[in-house]
Structure 1
């Protein structure tokens, strides 16, 4: 198979601030594989978690280095290709883009969307949350209004972990609740709290009826999650602490769910393994995203019937998304009926 690599830059309608910083634009990578006159598409987007940083240049260089090695393979040989990529120690985003593209190629080969190939029920997909980044109380209110005017919002994910402390977090969350009393609220601290603050915030959030808290403690402090769980009744999800299925057994006694992202996991194949592993340990599942376009989020949406929660909103905040794929209906990100991922490039869409 032949592999083609293209860079594209996407800009956010509204900058997103989390505990680790602010993002206004990213340069992602569009990967195309071709064989037998069929083209499969995938996307790799950069992200950074502690010492695990995957920049656009790192991803691009790894793709270009591995592309000649993969020419001898067919897109049908996903297991063998995965072994090659693991041996080459490529970044997980590289694995994600190639795995996505091979699944897209397969769906186009047999003429079916992936969700249908897997026998999943599209009507089981839950609404996606949309994100409000760290802001002042008035800024958070304005952002909530923007989302409510822009799309059918059922759920807000509110980013906390403000460097100014948990009092600032509380004021911001109450401002969002005042501005948007109807949508349910989830909270994501992106590892921005210490254990003492996390215990206080989780109990405070539980009293407000918040559904769950995501990544309350920094990556690397997983052992403290046991103490947090002991002192809080609020369900705890992990994101930065959980990359692949092998991480789940070590976390299962301390958390209630895991956030699966294609860029962290290395693609749809590993994401499916993570779902089954999480379920085997009695954990809930959500799918999330980084600064992904509609290409990667539509890929994640193919697995969405398996999730309890979804946070696939990054493409909704882009002013120049080059792709069109999953539909937005009643707050849900629904994959369409087209073969494979069902994604088109905006320039070629009719």
Structure 2
């Protein structure tokens, strides 16, 4: 099969600040597979969970150059063999994900069926997405919320907390958002920005509001403290940065976590996303899907599997100025894939992008 890589910086309409810093733009890679005149598309998005664990654009470009010759002899239907080769080559999860999604997209187009139908899923059995408000001043947070309310009629709001300025800053932001949308359901994501004592304090303070759960309240280096937090917190605890694949789920369950955040870039494939969702459900854990700076391509792929999730945080593409793809449509707060074959996404070259000639075989 022929493989082409397109590199494109994507800019956020509103920079997103979390406990570890602010992101205004990223440079994503889009991978196109071609076989029998059919194209399959996938996306690799750089991300970091803090510390040494970082998959940046430079690393992704280097790896994709190295693995293209390895994949040349495969057909897009050979997903298991392709993933085995990528694992052997120690390729990053973001690149593995892009290639796997492209294979699924190709398969759906070859079969003439949308991905959700191939997998036997029901896109009508899904939940509304949430929209994200980053760490900011109360005034900036209010403006961001008001902007989101012009985009979607949904009532699920994720608030990023863990402000380096302390709990008082977190509380002021949250109170402002709650006062301006008291009937919404809130979720809180600290991105590992709290200490154990801070997390316990905030869990009790937030319990008086419409908060569904606390996501990654502690650093990944403090997972051993999760049982203590779970014992004292009146709110459920979800893991994000501490959970990459299904192999992490039994460990997290033993640490009394109540749910996990599955992200395509961390999981490394749609196959692994499915495995994680089913494993979590069998362990009695809640499932949420998240994203980084994913375009409509990545979020549409996850939306096809939306019926397996309890919470969907798939809003990143709605905050991009220059999304090169068009796919799932936001309808009354629901992100709905269409019935076109494969992922049902189309690429708009007019939005820019630099074709990586060095990558083409």
User: Which TM-score tier does this pair reach, normalised by the shorter chain?
Assistant: over 0.9
Partner of 1:188: 189
1:271 aligns with 2:267: no
Partner of 2:6: 6
Structure 2 stretches lacking a partner, 5+ long: 352-361
Partner of 1:66: 67
Q: CA deviation at 1:206?
A: 1.4
1:324 aligns with 2:326: yes
Q: CA deviation at 1:37?
A: 1.1
Partner of 1:256: 258
Structure 1 stretches lacking a partner, 5+ long: none
Partner of 1:135: 136
Deviations 1:43-71 (A, max 9, x none): 00000112110011111110110000111
Aligned-pair Cα RMSD in Å:
1.1
Deviations 1:237-261 (A, max 9, x none): 1100000010111001321100000
| Greater relative contact order (Cα < 8 A, sep 6+) | 2
Deviations 1:66-94 (A, max 9, x none): 00011111111111111100000000000
More off after superposition, 333-342 vs 177-186:
177-186
Measured in 2, the distance between the counterparts of 1:88 and 1:312 equals: 30
Measured in 2, the distance between the counterparts of 1:83 and 1:347 equals: 32
1:190 aligns to what SS in structure 2?
coil
Deviations 1:189-217 (A, max 9, x none): 00000000001111111122311110000
More off after superposition, 194-203 vs 148-157:
148-157
1:123 aligns to what SS in structure 2?
coil
Measured in 1, the distance between the counterparts of 2:153 and 2:26 equals: 26
Runs of 4+ in 1 over 6 A off after TM superposition: none
2:31 aligns to what SS in structure 1?
strand
Measured in 2, the distance between the counterparts of 1:166 and 1:160 equals: 9
1:222 aligns to what SS in structure 2?
helix
Asked if structure 2 preserves the Cα contact closer than 8 Å seen for 1:147 and 1:153, the reply is no
Asked if structure 1 preserves the Cα contact closer than 8 Å seen for 2:184 and 2:210, the reply is no
1:78 aligns with 2:79: yes
Q: How many residues align?
A: 349
Measured in 1, the distance between the counterparts of 2:76 and 2:108 equals: 11
**Given the two structures, how large is their TM-score scaled by the length of structure 2?**
0.95
